[in-house]
Every structure is written in C-alpha cells, then in structure tokens.
Structure 1
Amino acid sequence: MKAYMYDNLMNVLEKKKLRNERKILLENIRGKIIELGAGTGVNFEFYTDNEVIAVEPDEVLNAEAQKKIGSKNIKIISAFAEELPFEDNTFDTVLITLALCTIPNPEKALKEAERICKRGGQLLILEHIKNENRFLFSLQNILTPVWKKFAMGCHLNRDTLSFIKNNNFEQVSLKYFWGNNFVSGVFKNIK
C-alpha cells in the first residue's frame, strides 16, 4: 500500500468501527502527549488543547498528517519509535494506534515508550493482535508475508499484548473487538 493511499483504503474500517474506538480511547488522554507512529494523523481530530508530539518516520505520511493539524497544538517530528530524541520522563501519555504491527522492533519501541513516559503515566493502545484461536493464528501466519508487502510492513500475527506486559506497563483496561483480533487498552507505567 502506498502511503498516500492509506486513508482511502482504511476508510471503510475507520467508519465501521475504528473511528469510534479511537474516540473512546482518546477520551483518556491527559497532560503532555506523544503519539508514536502517527501515520496520516487520523487521531488528530480527537485532540483538544493538549500539547502533542506526533512521531512518524515516513515522509509521505508526515505530509498527509500535516494537512490535518489545523489550529491544534501538534508538532510532527520524523523519528523512529525505537530511538526517540526525548529525555526520560517527558510525557504523561504515550499513544500508539495501529503502529506496533509495523514498527520493526516493537519491544524496543515499548522500552522507549516506558523510558519517556513519566512514572504513573499511561500508555494507550489500539492495535490488532495475535489471535488466540489456533486456526485463526495459523491463518494470520500464512497471510502475514504477503500482507506485509501490501500494508507497509504490517504483521498480522504479532503478540503485541505480550510485548506490552514484558515492559513496566500495568493493565488498567482492555477491550477486545472484531472477533478478538483488535484491542483497545489503557496501561499505567509502573517503572
């Protein structure tokens, strides 16, 4: 999938379910916010008056996101989630939506999220995940090599929840949807 086509191709999924899940999740944001893997800026409409740093390494996605800033207090920077140019304990909220599947090293990205998030701060996620059903997980494994080429490196079969639990994030809330293929969750940084 070409970056400039992302919004158009995801539009059906966004309208059907994801937009509402984003809206509900982002009701939890507070303080200084960093969004990792901001993509085309689909979350920007839900930000209010908070200061937001949006991190996205892809230049084409950055250009699309720039169009959605409007008058909001959002700054887009080009960086990789695994190597963030911020000091420890800088942010109150770390937001990651549909990005841990494409980040080359999600475990390292989550370590960085833990590092830059204040103690007691929060990690908010909206992600598709490894399905616990053996048949569906096998199907995810079969489809992932092709899907990665089509969908900008997306891994359908990542065990994202295990990556999060292996860091210092304690689950506050977790909601499964679309046949347990997606989750929306709030985690507290307990470092």
Structure 2
Amino acid sequence: MPEVSAHPRFARKYVRISEASDRRGSAAHRERMLAGLSGRVIEVGAGNGRNFAHYPSTVVEVVAVEPDPYLRGHAERAAARASVPIRVVDGDAEHLPAEDAEFDAAVFSLVLCSVPDVDSALTEAWRVLRPGGEARFYEHVRDENLLLGGIQDLITPLWKRLGGGCHPNRDTETALRRAGFAVDSERFAFRPMAWLPPSAHILGTASKPEGR
C-alpha cells in the first residue's frame, strides 16, 4: 500500500480502494506472495492490514510498520483478528524500527511505488534481514512496452500528487537487484479497479545471500 502519512485524504480513500482491489484479485495475489513464509517477518507499509489474513501459521510474529495513523488504526483492528501474532508499529520504509539481521523475511505489498527513496527502503530491508533471508513482494511496475511505459512516465508527475505519492513508472525489479538481492519474479497484467486499464505487476521473492 502507499506510504501515505503525508497524504491523509488519500489514506482514507485507500481503505476503500484496497478492499475493492482485493475483490478483483489482489487477495489471491497476496495469498501467493505470502505462501510458505516462516519465522519472524517485518511488513513494510502495512497500510490497513489487508495482508494479515493471508499469513501462514508457520509465521511466529509479524512486525507491521505503518506511518499513517489512520491506516495504522485499521491495521491494529485487522491484527486483532489475525491467526498469527501481529504487532503494528509506527515507522517508515527508510528508517525501520528494527535491529540488524532481526528478521527472516520482509514483505513489500504495493508500497515500493510510493516510498520517497526506493533504494534507501531496500537498503533498510537488507539491513534488518538475516543472511539467507528473503523479501516477498507484490508491486505494480513500469510496463515493458515502450509506448505504455512512456505514457506512465508522462502521467507520473500528476499521478503521484493525486495518488498518495504513487509512481506508476518504477522499475522495482531492477531496484531489488541493485540492492544486492537475487530476484525470482513473475510479471502479469492486472486491473485493480474497474476504471483503470490493466497494468504491469510483479510478484516474487528477493533473496539475501548467505554470509552477507
């Protein structure tokens, strides 16, 4: 979800948007993203807690980081209904409230589009992951088609102002590789809202090598 602490109006809209998007297929994508996770997990930009119902029982704790107080309140209520222990905390992607190598996994779900500095966010994820840990991600990204990607570039300045800082033209997979992760991903077109055209999404795992 977007890191929208500087966009309180969009935070309120996002609750409705995320619920509608889940009904159109995002819930199934979240389920696939989190399948097989275990141990301690940090979720970055947890929003209103739409992932919480999908964590498998092998996860022993989730620390859910969310900067927006309105969305954090929704996340706390979702955490109370979850089947795994979830602690919702204040914080942002570029300054995670965690020690080095503290977690087995990190989760990014529709948030890397909107963090102000995606490289800093991924550097922080690398820091808090143990060697051999992994980041799970489900994100919308810049289209590989030159025309569609060009259109995304053109609309980004206005879109990010209206959409809680969201950048529709981010190349998230390249950013993950630049941060040092080994990336295994699938790319697909998905239409999260009826009034939007299908857009490119990626879902997968970014692994931190052992010994690093």
TM-score normalised over the length of structure 2: 0.85
- Name the structure 2 match of 1:187: 206
Residues of 2 paired with 1:37 and 1:139: CA distance?
27
- Name the structure 2 match of 1:95: 107
Selected match of 1:109 from 110, 114, 121: 121
Q: Which runs of 5 or more structure 1 residues have no equivalent in the other structure?
A: none
Residues of 2 paired with 1:158 and 1:24: CA distance?
22
C-alpha displacement of 1:63: 1.1
Check the 8 A contact 1:4/1:64 in 2, yes or no.
Answer: no
SS in 1 for 2:143: coil
Alpha-carbon RMSD? 1.5
Task: Calculate percent identity across the aligned residue pairs.
Answer: 33
Residues of 1 paired with 2:21 and 2:100: CA distance?
35
1:75 aligns with 2:94: no
Check the 8 A contact 1:169/1:187 in 2, yes or no.
Answer: yes
Q: Which runs of 5 or more structure 2 residues have no equivalent in the other structure?
A: 1-8, 190-197
1:33 aligns with 2:41: yes
C-alpha displacement of 1:132: 1.4
- Name the structure 2 match of 1:66: 76
C-alpha displacement of 1:2: 2.3
TM-score normalised over the length of structure 1: 0.93
C-alpha displacement of 1:71: 4.6
Residues of 1 paired with 2:54 and 2:10: CA distance?
25
Task: State the 4+ residue runs in structure 1 displaced beyond 4 angstroms.
Answer: none
Check the 8 A contact 2:36/2:56 in 1, yes or no.
Answer: no
C-alpha displacement of 1:180: 6.6
Selected match of 1:176 from 184, 187, 197: 187
1:56 aligns with 2:66: yes
Residues of 2 paired with 1:152 and 1:180: CA distance?
18
SS in 2 for 1:80: coil
Give the AA of the match of 1:151: G
